[in-house]
Amino acid sequence: MNSLFQQLPSIDKLLKQPEIASLIAEFGRSAVVKICRSLLENARSEIKNTQKIPHFFHDNATLIAEIQRQLQAQQQVKIQPVHNLTGTVLHTNLGRALWANAAQQAALLAMQENVALEYDLAEGKRSHRDNYISELLCELTGAEAACVVNNNAAAVLLMLTTFAVGKEVVISRGELIEIGGSFRIPDIMQQAGCKLAEVGTTNRTHLADYRRAINENTAFLMKVHSSNYQICGFTHSVSEAELAQLGKEMNVPVMTDLGSGALVDLSQYGLPAEPTVQEKWQLGVDLISFSGDKLLGGPQAGIIVGKKYFIDQLQSHPLKRALRCDKVILAGLEATLRLYLQPEKLAEKLTSLHLLTQPVSALRQQAEILKARLENQLNFAYTIRVEESQAQIGSGAQPLAKIPSVAVTLEEKNSQKLTALIQRFKQLPQPIIGRVEQNKLWLDLRSLANFERLLNNLEQL
């Protein structure tokens, strides 16, 4: 054992080597010294436990390579790109909407340069950072004003905190939703310091239920779009139009948490219809909140549009500063919204909409190419087919609606072998994430962002 310990170099001896000197020049002395010490400590521990010297101390070249590998690993960002072949286009766990090229360029410019974020170039004085976005949103939705925070949950929290502290918010029992991460409407109401006044039943709520609940302490009549589930059968709900009329009659404002945030009629693209922000505003709703990274197709943000009287109060509330977006998000969001000013080009330029509207024939062509590549790479070790698939929008939008798609499926009767392949896919330079159904791995092309990059990535398989 002593002879093995003697084979280990000292820190000083390591640092004097020319190869280490070049690593110090690239990564810095402290980082190199820390890794050298860690390797030596691990080696001593292994010698004590196994009476063997670690493999990377067998020769100097291997040791230098290990030190370099660990230094490079320190710089590797853990949030790494993956290939989304799940068939869920707006996949919450995989980052939701992909930014359009225009949004990427706007965000990159905002990172690299100082920008007129809270500065009015025409007036030469300070302005509000939401101004550009507000003007755009008003043009697109018809609303009087707009406010932007970091996500839709924050938007709901800001509205409730601003207007409903110590007061009641009336909402249908069937709309007390829970979304991903155990986020519940009743919990956020409690956090905002307001009281939940639930009306109706799980499956049926009538206008009279809302009317009976209104009193002098009522702050809002609230609607929540149940985008991530559906109640079918013997049901009844109150529309925003009815609620807005009641609110006007009783002098109680109406707010809607629309969630998914469509700004165009998706049915024109052959997709499942989803209520739009414009529709809710035209029905007379006072405040509407929605997400930026779902059907809107932009960065994560919570957007509130509505009457200027209410928006001005939201903007001046102290919580708004804590929830505001930075220059990069605002630049990306503005660029995304500007794409909506050219509706005929939207499906071409808005990445998420482009993925959702790809023709099945194009997906089938890609699937045939992918099938051939996988057969070659895997040496026909699996049963590989091109099959019809059912994709979905994702992020809670139209959970029961399916979109025709095409997938490459990989089947193996030995489940352990299929599990091993899934792990191999995840260990690629850019991991491949599919879905498992019917004892097969499905690689659905509908949600894939870059086909050529996928093919290049498979060379490492």
Asked if residue 164 is part of any domain, the answer here is yes
Q: Are 108 and 235 contained in the same domain?
A: yes
Q: How many CB atoms lie within 10 A of CB 212?
A: 11
Under 8 Å CB-to-CB from 401, ≥6 apart: which residues?
Answer: 272, 392, 393
Out of 343, 364, 398, a domain closes at: 343
Q: How far apart are CA 279 and CA 258, in angstroms?
A: 11
**pLDDT surpassing 90 at residue 254:** yes
Of residues 288, 100, 286, the one with CA closest to residue 276: 288
Asked if residue 8 is part of any domain, the answer here is yes
Q: Are 16 and 142 contained in the same domain?
A: no
Of residues 230, 208, 220, the one with CA closest to residue 257: 220
Would the CA dihedral through 170, 174, 180, 184 be positive or negative? Answer: positive
* The two three-digit tokens of residue 134, written as one number: 């507000």
Asked if residue 307 is part of any domain, the answer here is yes
Structural domain range at position 163: 101-343
- Please say whether the beta carbons of 176 and 205 come within 8 A: no
Asked if residue 197 is part of any domain, the answer here is yes
Cα distance from N-terminal residue to C-terminal residue, the chain: 41
Asked if residue 349 is part of any domain, the answer here is no
- Please say whether the beta carbons of 294 and 258 come within 8 A: no
Asked if residue 348 is part of any domain, the answer here is no
If residue 170 lies in a helix (H) or strand (E), which one and from where to where? strand 168-172
Ranges assigned E (strand) in 272-382:
287-291, 302-306
Out of 294, 324, 343, a domain closes at: 343
The domain that holds 256 is classified in CATH as 3.40.640.10
The pLDDT-based confidence of 425 (bands split at 50, 70, 90) is very high
Give the number of domains in the chain. 3
Q: Are 323 and 394 contained in the same domain?
A: no
Q: Are 328 and 421 contained in the same domain?
A: no
Give 340's Cβ-side CA count (13 Å radius): 20
pLDDT tens string 275-317: 999 999 999 999 999 999 999 999 999 999 999 999 999 999 9
* The two three-digit tokens of residue 129, written as one number: 């950072």
Q: Are 194 and 307 contained in the same domain?
A: yes
Q: Are 3 and 108 contained in the same domain?
A: no
Under 8 Å CB-to-CB from 78, ≥6 apart: which residues?
Answer: none
For residue 269, give the amino acid letter.
Answer: Y
Q: Are 106 and 215 contained in the same domain?
A: yes
pLDDT tens string 125-169: 999 999 989 999 999 999 999 999 999 999 999 999 999 999 999
Least reliable range by pLDDT among 110-114, 329-333, 379-383:
379-383
Cross-strand bridge partners of residue 257: 224, 289
Out of 343, 366, 389, a domain closes at: 343
For residue 409, give the amino acid letter.
Answer: T
Q: How far apart are CA 130 and CA 324, in angstroms?
A: 9
For residue 391, give the amino acid letter.
Answer: A
Dihedral angle, C-alpha 423, 395, 138, 120, nearest 10 °: -30
Q: Are 142 and 200 contained in the same domain?
A: yes
* The two three-digit tokens of residue 19, written as one number: 């190869």
How does strand 168-172 pair with strand 195-199?
Answer: parallel
For residue 53, give the amino acid letter.
Answer: I
Cα 274 from chain centroid?
19
Position 182 scores a pLDDT of: 60
Q: Are 338 and 359 contained in the same domain?
A: no
Q: Are 29 and 128 contained in the same domain?
A: no
Q: Are 338 and 316 contained in the same domain?
A: yes
In the numeric block, the tokens 């809670």 are attached to 396
Q: Are 134 and 273 contained in the same domain?
A: yes
pLDDT tens string 326-359: 999 999 999 999 999 999 999 999 999 999 999 9
The domain that holds 391 is classified in CATH as 3.90.1150.180
Position 130 scores a pLDDT of: 94
